[in-house]
Structure formats: structure tokens, C-alpha cells
């Protein structure tokens, strides 16, 4: 069964100013609405929406989402008018959903799991114990591998599939995180450009001062002769 998330009323692509035809954007919204919103990346894309974009642009096959499974492929094939094919085993296998839990006594507070979580489902602070907010965890398991002390364990999820409201919540949280990372990236780049520009200005000023000193020295030498 696939999460039948409702269509977004406004496209994030349009909000983000990406130059794309409105019919493409609408179709991406429709395809995205058929994806589970686990944001696990097993399809080979950074999340459900990038995979939806690739399918609409006919750059990706419809059988790359293990959490969506066979029913997901069926729904995508129907919407996109493509042949229904079996799940690509290279992407993973269809299996019951899991959720994760942090063994808090072992957590060293490195924050690596927070950085890996695509939907901000982990709370914690540097050198403090971290916890997973169970209601927000999609079971993507992306936090497990980065944990240096292996203190994140998987459990069977309380619900076997993402329900519509969970998918919707996950989509919103994923988009909010992406927007935040984009802002941070822009800020970092702007700070770096400013630092380089300051360095270059300091360099020009220093060169001008050295040139003035050299001219003064040359004038003095000339007067002595």
C-alpha cells in the first residue's frame, strides 16, 4: 500500500524559483505524492522529491523505491504511463518498516546522527545524550552507520507503512531541512567570499603602501645626488 498523500497546493520548485514548466511541476507533485516519503535515498537520489523529479524527466526508472514496493511501482506506472516492472534489487528489497532507538547510556553526544537524519527526528546537543522522536522517525536508517559507538538500534515500526499524515509530515520536515541547509550553505559561501574580498583588499592596500614607500625612498635618493 502506498501513502496517498494529498497534493501540495504550491510547488516548492516554484517557491524556490526553479525555472520549470508548471505542468512539469504539477506532475512532480503528483509523483512525489505517490512516494512513501521515507527519505531513505535507496532509490539513488537524495530523497523522494529528487527521485520524483528524475522520473518525470524520464531520467529514472519507476522501480527504484523499496519502501514503496510493488504497489508503489504499480501506482507510478499507472500515473506515468509506463510498464510495471519488478523492484530493482540493486536498490534493496521490500521489507517491513522499522524505526530506530538510541541506547542513551552509550551515546557520546557526537551529533553525527542528527546531521544524517533527513527529517530532523533526533534531538540532542553536542556532548549531550540524544534521543529519537519516535513519531517523526521514518525508519530510513540513515543515522545508524555514522554513529561511532553503534548505539542506534532498529525495532519493528509501530505501523508497517507510512500513513498519509506521516508522509505529509515527513515531506514538510524534509523540505524545511533542505531549505535550512541551503540557507546555511549560502551564508557560508557569502562569508567565505567576504573573507576573500577582505583579504584581497588588504593585499591591495599593502601593495599601495609599499609602492608609496618605494617612491618616497627613490625621491630621497635622488635629492641626495
Interaction between residue 75 and ligand SF4 (CB under 6 A): no
Pick from 132, 108, 105, 106: nearest CA to 121: 132
Q: How far is the CB of 42 from ligand SF4 (least distance, A)?
A: 4
Pick from 47, 85, 66, 1: nearest CA to 171: 47
Pick from 116, 171, 175, 118: nearest CA to 146: 116
- CA separation for the pair 133, 100 (Å, rounded): 9
191, containing H or E segment: helix 164-224
* Subset of 102-131 contacting ligand SF4 (CB under 6 A): 102, 107-113, 116-117, 119, 121-122, 124, 130
- Cα torsion 184, 186, 187, 191 to 10°: value is 140
Q: How far is the CB of 144 from ligand SF4 (least distance, A)?
A: 7
Q: How far is the CB of 59 from ligand SF4 (least distance, A)?
A: 14
Number of residues forming the site for ligand SF4 (CB under 6 A) = 45
- CA separation for the pair 3, 146 (Å, rounded): 29
- CA separation for the pair 138, 152 (Å, rounded): 14
Pick the binder of ligand SF4 from 27, 138, 169, 178 (CB under 6 A).
138
* Subset of 8-67 contacting ligand SF4 (CB under 6 A): 35-36, 38-43, 45, 47-48, 51, 65-67
Q: Which residues bind ligand SF4 (CB under 6 A)?
A: 35-36, 38-43, 45, 47-48, 51, 65-68, 100, 102, 107-113, 116-117, 119, 121-122, 124, 130, 132, 137-143, 146-147, 149, 151-152
Amino acid at each position: 500500500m502506498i501513502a496517498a498523500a494529498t497534493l501540495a497546493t504550491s510547488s516548492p520548485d516554484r517557491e524556490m524559483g526553479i525555472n520549470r514548466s508548471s505542468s512539469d511541476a504539477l506532475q512532480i507533485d503528483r509523483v512525489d505524492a505517490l512516494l512513501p516519503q521515507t527519505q531513505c535515498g535507496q532509490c539513488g537520489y537524495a530523497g523522494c522529491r529528487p527521485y520524483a523529479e528524475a522520473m518525470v524527466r524520464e531520467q529514472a526508472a519507476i522501480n527504484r523505491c523499496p519502501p514503496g514496493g510493488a504497489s508503489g511501482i504499480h501506482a507510478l506506472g499507472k500515473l506515468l504511463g509506463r510498464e510495471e516492472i519488478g523492484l530493482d534489487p540493486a536498490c534493496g528489497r521490500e521489507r517491513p518498516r522499522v524505526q530506530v532507538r538510541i541506547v542513551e547510556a552509550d551515546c557520546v553526544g557526537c551529533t553525527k546522527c542528527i546531521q544524517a537524519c533527513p527529517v530532523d527526528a533526533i534531538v540532542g546537543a553536542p556532548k549531550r545524550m540524544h534521543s529519537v522522536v519516535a513519531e517523526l522517525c521514518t525508519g530510513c536508517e540513515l543515522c545508524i552507520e555514522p554513529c561511532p559507538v553503534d548505539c542506534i538500534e532498529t525495532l519493528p515500526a509501530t505501523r508497517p507503512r507510512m500513513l498519509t499524515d506521516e508522509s505529509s509530515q515527513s515531506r514538510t520536515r524534509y523540505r524545511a531541512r533542505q531549505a535550512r541547509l541551503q540557507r546555511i550553505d549560502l551564508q557560508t559561501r557569502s562569508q567565505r567570499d567576504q573573507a576573500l574580498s577582505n583579504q584581497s583588499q588588504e593585499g591591495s592596500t599593502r601593495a599601495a603602501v609599499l609602492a608609496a614607500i618605494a617612491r618616497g625612498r627613490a625621491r630621497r635618493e635622488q635629492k641626495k645626488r
